[in-house]
Amino acid sequence: MPLTFSTAGDKALPLHVIEPDGLEGWLAAATATEATWVRASGFSGAMGETLLVSDGNGAPKMALAGYGSAASRRRGRFALAAAAVALPDGDYRLDQVPSGFAAEEEALGWLLAGYVFDRYRVQKHPTARLVAPQGTDAPRLEAIAAGEALTRDLINTPASDMGPEELEAAARELARAQGATIEVISGETLLDRNFPMIHAVGRASPRAPRLIDMRWGSAGPKLTLVGKGVCFDTGGLDIKPSASMGLMKKDMGGAATVLGLAQMIMTLGLPVQLRVLVPAVENAVAGNAFRPQDILTARNGLTVEINNTDAEGRLVLADALVYGAEEAPDLMLSMATLTGAARVAVGPDLAPFYTDDEAVAAAIARGAADVADPVWRMPFHEPYEAMIEPGIADLDNAPKGGFAGSITAALFLRRFAGAGVRYTHFDIYGWQPAAAPARPKGGVGQGARAVLAALPEVLGL
């Protein structure tokens, strides 16, 4: 199923979306033949149910899709997507929907339900195509779906085929397609250009570390997106146990998400000066790996004591944030699969975010509700600042004790975001642990749609 809407128009098969509580009313208005057919089929309106109704001559006259109860929809989102993957090949247009039907959300969910990661194995693709519902912004929804597909593809690709060089190649292809410019600083040149922590984290891998710097747009507010691009994380010398290393191909999920968001922004032509910074590294184990209790000096001169080499994402982000802040953007935002503590706090489905700016926080929260992209604001709790100050250096990359791990990581990053810069940080998971409507198991974008929805308000577009 392509991530675009059908152009069949009125030739498409009418689709009736029915709640369980609305089924009897629908049957009462149907013809006797239709009602008998639907009753005999056992169709109940439960989420994900589908049924083709015959015209009496063996051809389909309409299709029914179960929308589920209000209670079942509150426990998830993209309810229509559950039916989209069950409908047979064909073009469909919404003909009858329940009161309060969220057309934009459900249309996007239908598009996202068409995503399949088939790089390594032939997979069955859903083939039901939807005509864009009246009143929806079809080009915008298609741009969002395409950006989300890019994010999912990048996260799902294993590290054997998605190292720093391949992540750079993906960024270059995006830049080429969108008319953006790109600069990449790699290997020992990172030291020459004063990115010492990106170099330190990535130097043990034979796959050279690098900083990807993509720019697009020449007018409007300056928006800088920074994404953690740790293409695989062994934990370094503080090596992870195998159970914790199993999903580390997704540790570049922040980079994947900002690249997907950037694609949305550029495709939609938002009037901004966009900059995307991705420190791309592999945190490997070798004789030249950085060590526990090493002290590194960041781009801005702050010293950092390494108390856990597995807390490397904040180190590479720190140099990139300093670099981004040097141009005083109107808004700088980082995304990273940064801490397990965030998952313990809110689980895999919510994207925690941090900001000191009340207007930004409110806009993101409203955007998240509008586009079914759940987020949760967390505090930059200043009394915890002392926890990231070890005494021997300016900062500690991994405070002992295990308390407030996501908050202390966010506080650490804020030290590098620059005075006076509006800064927001997302600590995402980037992974769907079990299949759900419009979200197959695997890589997933989080927070990007909420940010996209908030940008016009935040930046005055």
Q: Do residues 399 and 408 make contact, with C-beta atoms less than 8 angstroms apart?
A: yes
- 401 falls in which pLDDT band (50, 70, 90)? confident
Token pair recorded at residue 453: 């929805």
Residue 3 lies in a domain: no
Q: Which of 193, 215, 240, 366 is catalytic?
A: 240
Phi/psi zone of residue 53: left (φ > 0), alpha (ψ -120 to 50 degrees), beta? Answer: beta
- 203 falls in which pLDDT band (50, 70, 90)? very high
Token pair recorded at residue 300: 């801005």
Same domain, 22 and 170: no
DSSP state of 385: G
Mean pLDDT across 237-254? 97
What is the rounded average pLDDT for all residues in the chain? 97
Residue 51 lies in a domain: yes
Q: Which of 133, 157, 192 is the last residue of a domain?
A: 133
Model confidence at 1: pLDDT above 60: no
pLDDT score of 58: 84
Residues in the chain: 461
- Domain holding 115: CATH number? 3.40.220.10
Residue 185 lies in a domain: yes
Note the pLDDT tens digit of each residue in 48-61: 999 999 988 889 99
Model confidence at 438: pLDDT above 80: yes
Same domain, 85 and 155: no
Same domain, 94 and 177: no
Instruction: Report the distance separating Cα 214 and Cα 224, nearest Å.
Output: 10
Token pair recorded at residue 51: 């049924």
Model confidence at 96: pLDDT above 80: yes
pLDDT score of 56: 83
pLDDT score of 57: 85
Residue 2 lies in a domain: no
Token pair 């915890």: residue: 384
Q: Which of 133, 156, 191 is the last residue of a domain?
A: 133
Q: Do residues 229 and 164 make contact, with C-beta atoms less than 8 angstroms apart?
A: yes
Among candidates 392, 375, 379, which has minimal Cα distance to 428?
375
Token pair recorded at residue 278: 């991705």
pLDDT above 70 as % of the chain? 100
Tell me how many degrees the CA angle 334-453-411 measures, rounded to the nearest 5. 25
Burial of residue 220 (number of CB atoms within 10 Å: 0-12, 13-18, 19+): middle
Instruction: Report the distance separating Cα 190 and Cα 185, nearest Å.
Output: 6
Our answer to whether residue 124 is catalytic in this structure is no
Instruction: Report the distance separating Cα 361 and Cα 425, nearest Å.
Output: 11
**Coarse DSSP helix, strand, coil percentages of the chain, rounded to the nearest 5 percent:** 40, 20, 40
Residue 391 lies in a domain: yes
Among candidates 421, 418, 439, which has minimal Cα distance to 430?
439
Note the pLDDT tens digit of each residue in 269-317: 999 999 999 999 999 999 999 999 999 999 999 999 999 999 999 999 9
**Cα within 13 Å of Cα(173), Cβ side:** 9
Same domain, 86 and 168: no
Q: Which of 71, 103, 133 is the last residue of a domain?
A: 133
How many domains is the chain built from? 2
pLDDT score of 227: 98
Same domain, 82 and 169: no
Q: Write out the residue range of the structural domain in which residue 407 sits.
A: 141-459
Mean pLDDT across 20-25? 96
Same domain, 268 and 369: yes
φ/ψ (deg, to 5) at 384: -85, 0
Q: Do residues 25 and 45 make contact, with C-beta atoms less than 8 angstroms apart?
A: no
Please give the C-alpha separations between residue 385 and each of 364, 376, 390, 410, in angstroms, as whole numbers: 25, 21, 10, 10
Residue 4 lies in a domain: no
Our answer to whether residue 439 is catalytic in this structure is no
Instruction: Report the distance separating Cα 200 and Cα 213, nearest Å.
Output: 19
Same domain, 106 and 237: no
Among candidates 361, 432, 340, 442, which has minimal Cα distance to 77?
432
DSSP string computed for 45-97: --TT-EEEEE-SSSSEEEEEEE---HHHHHTSS-HHHHHHTTSPSEEEEEEE-
Same domain, 277 and 407: yes
Residue 392 lies in a domain: yes
DSSP string computed for 4-29: S-B--GGGSEEEEEE-GGGHHHHHHH
Model confidence at 245: pLDDT above 80: yes
- Domain holding 248: CATH number? 3.40.630.10
Mean pLDDT across 20-40? 96
pLDDT score of 2: 63
Residue 414 lies in a domain: yes
Mean pLDDT across 367-381? 97
Same domain, 107 and 57: yes
Among candidates 339, 322, 347, which has minimal Cα distance to 432?
347
Overall pTM surpassing 0.95 (yes/no): yes
Q: Which residues pair with 6 in a beta bridge?
A: 131
Same domain, 247 and 115: no
C-alpha dihedral sign at 241, 410, 211, 197: negative
Model confidence at 223: pLDDT above 70: yes
Same domain, 407 and 455: yes
Q: Which of 93, 249, 314, 449 is catalytic?
A: 314
Token pair recorded at residue 457: 């308000």
Same domain, 125 and 163: no
